[in-house]
Amino acid sequence: MKKKVWIILCLLGLLLQSQFAAGRQQYLPNWESIDSRPTPQWFTDAKFGVFICWGLYSVPAWTPKGKYAEWYQYWLREKSFEGKVYDFHVSTYGKDFKFKDFAPMFNAELWEPDEWAELIKKAGAKYIVFTTKHHSGYTMWPSKEAEQTYGKNYNPMKVGPRRDIVGEITAAMRKKNIKVGLYYSLYEWYHPLWQSDKKRFVAEHLFPQFKDLVTRYHPDIIWSDGEWEMGWERWRSPELLAWLFNNAPNEKDLVINDRWGKGIRHKHGGFYTTEYGSGMNDDSHPWEENRGMGFSYGYNRAENLQDYRSAQELILMLIDVVSRGGNLCLDIGPSADGRIPVIMQERLLQIGAWLRTNGEAIYGTRMWKVPCQWSAGSIPRMERKEYMSRFNILEQTIAPPEGQAFKEVLFTFKNRNLYAITPKWPGRKLTLKDVSPNNDTEVIFLETGEKLPWEQDGGNLVITTPEFDTNRMKSQHAYVFRIHDIELENK
CATH label of the domain that carries residue 190? 3.20.20.80
What gap in Å lies between CA 255 and CA 257, rounded to an integer?
7
- Split at pLDDT 50, 70, 90, the class of 470 is confident
Last residue of a domain, one of 326, 342, 361: 361
Query: Mean pLDDT, to the nearest integer, of 139-147?
Result: 97
Domain co-membership, 331 together with 408 = no
pLDDT tens figures, 95-111: 999 999 999 999 999 99
In a domain, 3, yes or no: no
Domain co-membership, 377 together with 336 = no
Query: Mean pLDDT, to the nearest integer, of 375-404?
Result: 85
pLDDT tens figures, 412-437: 999 999 999 999 999 999 999 999 89
Give, for 115, the enclosing helix (H) or strand (E): helix 113-123
Residue 14 has pLDDT above 50, yes or no: no
Alpha-helix residue ranges (DSSP H) falling in 182-310 = 192-196, 198-200, 207-217, 232-235, 237-247
Range of the domain at 43: 24-361
Confidence (pLDDT) at 23: 66
Which of 489 and 219 is assigned the larger pLDDT? 219
CATH label of the domain that carries residue 477? 2.60.40.1180
Domain co-membership, 83 together with 121 = yes
In a domain, 56, yes or no: yes
Domain co-membership, 255 together with 397 = no
In a domain, 162, yes or no: yes
In a domain, 433, yes or no: yes
Confidence (pLDDT) at 67: 97
Q: Find how far residue 16's CA is from the centre of its chain.
A: 35
Alpha-helix residue ranges (DSSP H) falling in 189-327 = 192-196, 198-200, 207-217, 232-235, 237-247, 311-323
Domain co-membership, 379 together with 324 = no
79-83, 388-392, 401-405: least confidently modelled range = 388-392
Domain co-membership, 466 together with 401 = yes
Q: Is 376 exposed, middle or buried (0-12, 13-18, 19+ CB in 10 A)?
A: exposed
Which of 4 and 155 is assigned the larger pLDDT? 155
In a domain, 366, yes or no: no
Residue 423: which of 255, 271, 310, 258 has the closest Cα?
Answer: 310
pLDDT tens figures, 206-244: 999 999 999 999 999 999 999 999 999 999 999 999 999
**How many folded domains does the chain comprise?**
2
Distances (CA, A) of 460 to 143, 373, 432, 452, 455: 60, 12, 6, 16, 9
Domain co-membership, 234 together with 91 = yes
In a domain, 4, yes or no: no
Domain co-membership, 460 together with 356 = no
Domain co-membership, 332 together with 448 = no
pTM of the model as a whole = 0.94
Domain co-membership, 153 together with 274 = yes
Domain co-membership, 219 together with 349 = yes
Domain co-membership, 255 together with 187 = yes
Residue 38 has pLDDT above 90, yes or no: yes
Confidence (pLDDT) at 168: 99
Last residue of a domain, one of 361, 394, 413: 361
- Split at pLDDT 50, 70, 90, the class of 370 is very high
Confidence (pLDDT) at 389: 64
